[in-house]
Structures are given as C-alpha cells and as structure tokens.
C-alpha cells in the first residue's frame, strides 16, 4: 500500500509528502478511500481512545445494516468514519453501551436496550433530519457542531436542561421519548485549564439589604 498521511476529518488523504518525488507509489483510489475512512474515524473522538479503537463501517444504510470491521482494535471502543453524503451517517466513536444504543436507534427499535449509560463522541460534528423525532427521514438536514452524548433517559424538565438545539452548553435531544439523551456541545477540552498552582477561587457574591 502506498504511503499516505491522514489529513483533517473530512478531507481526502494525499500521498505522503515526505516520500521523495518519483520514488513513492501513487495510492490507488481504493487505498485513498480506505485511508480517508480511517482518518475520519480517528477524528471522531479523543485520539487517546480512537487510536486503539476498532474501526468499523456499515454494510449499507438501512435498518438491517451490519457491522463491517475495517481495523481491529485493542480497547472497547468502536469508531466509524461516516459518510458525509448520507444524512445521519456521521463519524462517531462509541463505547459498548453507546454502540448498543445507536444500533437500536438505527434499527428503529421502540426503545434502546443499553442497560447502563452509554457514551458516543461526534467530534467531527453531525447532521440529522430532526432533533425531536428519531424516525424522521425526510426533513431537511440539520447541521450540528462537535459534541458528545450521554445516552441515558434524561428528561429536560425534570433534570433542568433545555430541550432545543444550541451551540454551547448541554441540552436533551429527543426529549420525552425513549431515546432522550444528554447532548453536550463542544469537546471535553473547551475552555481554559486552571493553573492550580497560581490560581485561587474568586467569589464575587455580594449581599444587599432587601428592606
């Protein structure tokens, strides 16, 4: 296989520029396509996870789809490259409970069957037809930024979260349905890390006389 490098998540891979001109093999379209799939899967979650994850794709885009293993991993995560030409088929990295949840959702099962909270990263962003109705397959695509999902039956009103799409913070997607879950915008590394050696808490609470 020709030498390739992995570019950003949604760009195709290119021949390794460190290979001298005229001496390296030119990758075939099949090799470039495979490398791009690996690249997108690696970018879908934290690299500390995806670098050792099993990388898989779907046999086809339908309710009875099967897993096709592209690369065996050594941890319990499974990463997918997605297909930017199919709404809802997005790069993601799932733990076992998250994988069960997404397979239930894709199969159209009435409720997810994960027995513990699951976690799915979608750090490349995503798109889907609806944020309220899981079965919607016809509405225009909704673009969604990088995020990760805690897959357990959250309830927006009960748990104090909004239930509408946003670009920061957290909200409950598919609220009031069996597939309700917590959608956390951004990446786990958003914001600045505290310098605990040089920082101290600064409280600005002030009390006033209400009489």
For residue 80, pLDDT beyond 80 = yes
What per-residue confidence (pLDDT) applies to 202?
62
Higher pLDDT, 200 or 134: 134
Measuring CA to CA, which residue among 103, 123, 100 is closest to residue 42? 123
Percent of the chain with pLDDT over 70: 78
Q: What is the mean pLDDT of the chain?
A: 85
For residue 78, pLDDT beyond 90 = yes
Q: How far is CA 48 from CA 28, 75, 77, 108, in A?
A: 29, 11, 11, 32
For residue 21, pLDDT beyond 60 = no
What per-residue confidence (pLDDT) applies to 6?
35
93-100: long-range pairs with CB below 8 Å, 24+: 93/41, 93/44, 93/45, 93/46, 93/49, 93/50, 93/53, 93/120, 93/121, 93/123, 94/118, 94/119, 94/120, 94/121, 95/119, 95/120, 97/151, 98/149, 98/151
Residues 124-154: tens digit of each pLDDT: 999 999 999 999 999 999 999 999 999 999 9
Measuring CA to CA, which residue among 134, 174, 143, 178 is closest to residue 156? 174
When pLDDT is cut at 50, 70 and 90, the band that residue 211 belongs to is low
**How many residues in total does the chain contain?**
211
Bridge-based pairing of strands 14-15 and 118-122 is unpaired
For residue 12, pLDDT beyond 60 = no
């Amino acid at each position: 296989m020709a030498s390739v490098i992995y570019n950003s998540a949604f760009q195709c891979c290119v021949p390794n520029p460190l290979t001298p001109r005229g001496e390296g093999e030119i990758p075939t379209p099949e090799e470039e396509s495979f490398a791009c799939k690996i690249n997108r899967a690696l970018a879908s979650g934290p690299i500390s996870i995806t670098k050792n994850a099993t990388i898989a794709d779907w046999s086809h885009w339908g309710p009875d789809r099967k897993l096709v293993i592209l690369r065996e991993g050594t941890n319990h995560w499974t990463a997918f490259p997605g297909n930017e030409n199919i709404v809802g088929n997005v790069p993601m990295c799932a733990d076992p409970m998250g994988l069960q949840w997404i397979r239930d959702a894709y199969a159209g099962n009435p409720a997810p069957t994960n027995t513990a909270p699951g976690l799915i990263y979608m750090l490349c962003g995503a798109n889907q037809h609806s944020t309220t109705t899981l079965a919607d397959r016809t509405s225009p695509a909704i673009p969604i930024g990088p995020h990760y999902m805690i897959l357990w039956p959250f309830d927006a009103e009960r748990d104090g979260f909004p239930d509408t799409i946003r670009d920061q913070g957290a909200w409950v997607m598919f609220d009031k349905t069996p597939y309700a879950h917590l959608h956390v915008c951004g990446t786990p590394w958003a914001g600045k890390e505290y310098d605990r050696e040089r920082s101290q808490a600064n409280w600005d609470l002030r009390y006033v006389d209400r009489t």
